[in-house]
Amino acid sequence: MNTLTTNFSTKYTSAPFVQIENSDFKPAIMQLIEETKEEINAIVNNPEAPTFKNTIEALEFSGQQLNRVTSIFFNLNSAETNDEIQKIAQEVSPLLSEFGNDITLNEDLFKRVKVVYNQMKDLNLSVEQTTLLDKKYKGFSRNGANLKADAKVKLREIDKKLAKLKLTFGENILAETNKYELLITSEEALSGLPEGAKEAAKQLAESKNKDGWLITLDYPSYIPFMTYADNRELREELSKAFGSKAFKGDALDNQQNVLDIAKLSYDRAQLLGYKTHAHFVLEERMAETPEKVETFLNELLEKAKPAAENEFETLENFAKALDGIKALQKWDSAYYSEKLKQKLFSLDDEQLKPYFKLENVIAGAFMVAEKLFNLHFEEIHDIDKYHEEVLTYKVTNDKGDFISLFYADFFPRKGKRNGAWMTSYKSQYIQNNENERPHVSIVCNFTKPTKTKPSLLTFNEVTTLFHEFGHALHGMLANTTYPSLSGTSVYWDFVELPSQVMENWCYEKEALELFATHYETGAVIPMELIDKIKASATFQQGMQTLRQISFGLLDMAWYGTNPTSITDVKAYESNAFSDTDLYPDIPTSCMSTTFAHIFQGGYSSGYYSYKWAEVLDADAFDYFKQEGIFNKDVATKFKDHVLSQGGTENPVILYERFRGQAAKPEALLRRAGLIK
């Protein structure tokens, strides 16, 4: 019997990674699709009149094992993939897409849902039940249930194609990242590179039986080189390699995938009666319309652009004075920014890193969660892991109640995609009076320990860890009845609030003194360094804000218009960037072909939400600052009205309930130093 097709008999019903073979996945998914179809048929063929319980709730709790197994599978495809898993992903994605359509295009099922939906006002439902009913109805209507038969067939074809295209898009980026290596054989060429980065490059070369130092396009290798290496030619080579990923006109090229994904997304929206894909997406967001998003981004652009242009001019003049370079290029950006930052604040990551040993930062995140939300984290060794490097924790509250399982996976490896993310292996929900607790995971790509040093994080990596941990808290503290409204299952422009707000504690003396201690001496981070961290927090904020706005505008350019006539990805991108570009263009570089957030990861028409959520997070943390950053009353309000509520209610209402008022952008602009 396939382990995956039964409820897991493991401790905490955790994922039985050790027992699973890759070959188990496809047959299990196929079997569970059939079992879920039977559950759906039972709802459809129920002779009783449709009710909230026998139709909406029954539908909500159908396919639970299928959801668990697919979440395990796709999480592994991101964090621990290989050729076999990628091949299975290509085979099961269309099956799951087809099955999803089987449900949303099931006319008899939709009729039952519609009956309950039309009775909504008379059913005396709770707020959460009303939200679920609305979501279930829209799950059908927004996915073609009201379409005629031929249009439904067309929709199925589009969804199958999109599922495969998105997978291929991501696989091409991963293959391009893994393929490139810069082997340096002369130590002189490593001038400027910190010892830790040199040692990591040496170790990487040794692991591949090569002499010298190996630099790759993985962030822990790429970023230190771009930030510190004095050799401008090598920085240029590396930057161009990074920028040209999936943009070389070869088998791994993503240009046609970009055009096809944009075009099919548009066709899908049109089929469903929406003007563009962005109009379709934003109907279910706080922002509501593409026009509101563009207004929001352009208002920020107006505030940020003058500051960004001044910062760029300052940086270029600094680089010219220092090294006599004629024009600042993209491969100079991180290098001279770091030099200028050191000059202005006498602060660099190498000074800070000794105070941010990974284990201490993890402990720090746990301490902050304990002070705010009474959570306790205990490392455990009695549940399966998908890789030996993964850390596993049991999370409890002050009363000793089991709150969550927590998996943490911190280092890059071959089968793991770049970046950092939070995910879940099991949702929280309440069924049969049992509060099923969630299994939550964060995945990052931090610098590995070397033979002589532990993993020491850059300050940017520290904030990344706190960011993903904020998402994790949103998952862990979930306390809703229905799994599809639980934890991070909220509007996309609200989902970044818990993650971004957590980053703020990294800048506060009271929090830093809990965990920022020197890995060799144990000395607490000096006050002067904390002051410098805070002072440097607004460094180049104009340029940073402009960069985020540019990504948001590019996203809206692809999805907020009719893309049918676009033939040249690079030219179209350049036009979208025209108001935000500071650096000279590199003809061989293209952002769109690696923009996985919007072409693979679910952020299409949603990239603006990072800035949108920053407005919320700055406003929320302003409240904490007024009352004290560890104020229990404010933290409890945040837990009760935001973290525990998931998507049970409109986030505008949830936020105002926590804050007592709507969010205002002033706190963000002040924090970024863009207004006084």
What sign results for the dihedral spanned by CA atoms 15, 19, 25, 31? negative
Query: CB neighbours of 657 closer than 8 A, spacing ≥ 6?
Result: 641
Instruction: Please return the burial class of 521, using the count of CB atoms within 10 Å of its CB with bins 0-12, 13-18 and 19+.
Output: exposed
The answer, yes or no, to whether residue 629 has pLDDT greater than 90, is yes
How many degrees, rounded to 5, is the angle at CA 561 between CA 557 and CA 567? 75
**In this structure, what are the phi and psi dihedrals at residue 442, rounded to the nearest 5 degrees?**
-120, 145
Tokens of 480: 């809703």
Tokens of 176: 């391009």
Quick one: which of 15, 37, 14, 9 has its CA closest to 96?
Answer: 37
> Alpha-carbon distance 409 to 387, whole Å?
9
The CA–CA distances, whole Å, from 408 to 399, 465, 469 equal 24, 10, 9
Q: What is the pLDDT of residues 585-619, one digit of tens each?
A: 999 999 999 999 999 988 999 999 989 989 999 99
Determine which of 55-59, 157-161, 396-400, 534-538 has the lowest per-residue pLDDT on average: 534-538
Residues 6+ apart with CB under 8 A from 618: 667, 668, 670, 671
Spatial CA neighbour of 464 closest among 244, 166, 243, 223: 223
Contacts of 665 (CB under 8 A, 6+ apart): 300, 615, 619
In the prediction, which pLDDT does 676 show?
74
Q: Which range has highest mean pLDDT (243-252, 292-301, 532-541, 662-671)? A: 243-252
Q: Considering the chain, what is the average pLDDT of its residues?
A: 95
Q: How far apart are CA 300 and CA 317, in angstroms?
A: 26
**Which residues in 152-253 belong to E strands, given as ranges?**
182-184, 213-215
Cα–Cα distance, 603 to 22 (Å, whole number): 29
Q: Cα 273 to the chain's mean position, in Å?
A: 29
Which tens digits make up the pLDDT trace of 235-289? 999 999 999 999 999 999 999 999 999 999 999 999 999 999 999 999 999 999 9
CA distance 540 to 582: 13
DSSP assignments along 341-388, one per residue: HHHHHS--HHHHGGG-BHHHHHHHHHHHHHHHH-EEEEE--SS--SST
Q: Which residues pair with 422 in a beta bridge?
A: 442
Q: How confident is residue 666, by pLDDT bands cut at 50, 70 and 90? A: confident
> Are 507 and 350 spatial neighbours (Cβ–Cβ below 8 Å)?
no
Percent of the chain at pLDDT > 70 equals 100
Token pair belonging to 29: 């998914």
Catalytic annotation, pick one of 60, 316, 468, 503: 468
- Exposure on the CB side of residue 219, measured as CA atoms within 13 A: 17
At residue 369, what is the residue type?
A: A
**Residue 131: pLDDT above 90?**
yes
Residue for token digits 């050799």? 231
Residue pointed to by tokens 């929001």: 296
Is 468 one of the annotated active-site residues of the chain? yes
57: pLDDT confidence band, cut at 50, 70 and 90? very high
**Rounded-to-integer distance, Cα 59 and Cα 231, Å:** 60
Collapsing DSSP to helix, strand or coil, 65 comes out as helix
Label the pairing between strands 402-409 and 439-443: parallel
Distant-in-sequence, close-in-space partners of 317: CB < 8 Å, separation ≥ 6: none
β-pairing, 213-215 vs 182-184, is antiparallel
Max Cα-Cα span within the chain: 82
Q: What is the mean pLDDT of residues 206-221?
A: 95
Q: How far is CA 501 from CA 285, 396, 463, 495, 658, in A?
A: 19, 22, 10, 11, 14
| pLDDT, tens only, 8-22 | 999 999 999 999 999
Render pLDDT for 401-419 as a digit per residue (tens, 0 to 9).
999 999 999 999 989 988 8
Bridge partners, 423 (sequence order): 441
DSSP per-residue codes, 172-235: HHHHHHHH--EEE--GGGGTT--HHHHHHHHHHHHHTT-SSEEE-SSHHHHHHHHHH---HHHH
Residue 1's pLDDT band (boundaries 50, 70, 90)?
A: low
pLDDT > 80? residue 133: yes
Residue 591's SS3 state is coil
DSSP string, 402-456: EEEEEEEE-S--TTS-SS-EEEEEE--EEETTEEEPPEEEEE--PPPP-SS---B
Structure tokens at 584: 């000279």
Q: Terminal CA-to-CA distance of the chain, rounded, Å?
A: 66
Strand-pairing partners, residue 182, are 215
Instruction: Tell me which DSSP letter residue 642 carries.
Output: I
CA dist., res. 143 & res. 457, Å (int): 44
Determine phi and psi for 192, rounding to 5 degrees.
Answer: 95, -25
What is the C-alpha separation between 544 and 304, in angstroms, rounded?
A: 9
Q: What is the pTM of this model?
A: 0.84
Task: State pLDDT tens for residues 417-426.
Answer: 888 999 999 9
- Within 8 A by CB and 6+ apart from 233, the residues are none
Q: Cα(578)–Cα(574) distance, rounded to whole angstroms? A: 6
- What are the chain's domains? 3-146 (1.20.1050.40), 180-243 (no CATH), 354-377+384-399+406-540+629-666 (1.10.1370.40)
What's the CA gap between 321 and 574, in Å, rounded?
30
Half-sphere exposure of 438 (CA within 13 A, CB side): 32
| C-alpha span between 399 and 375 (Å, rounded) | 10
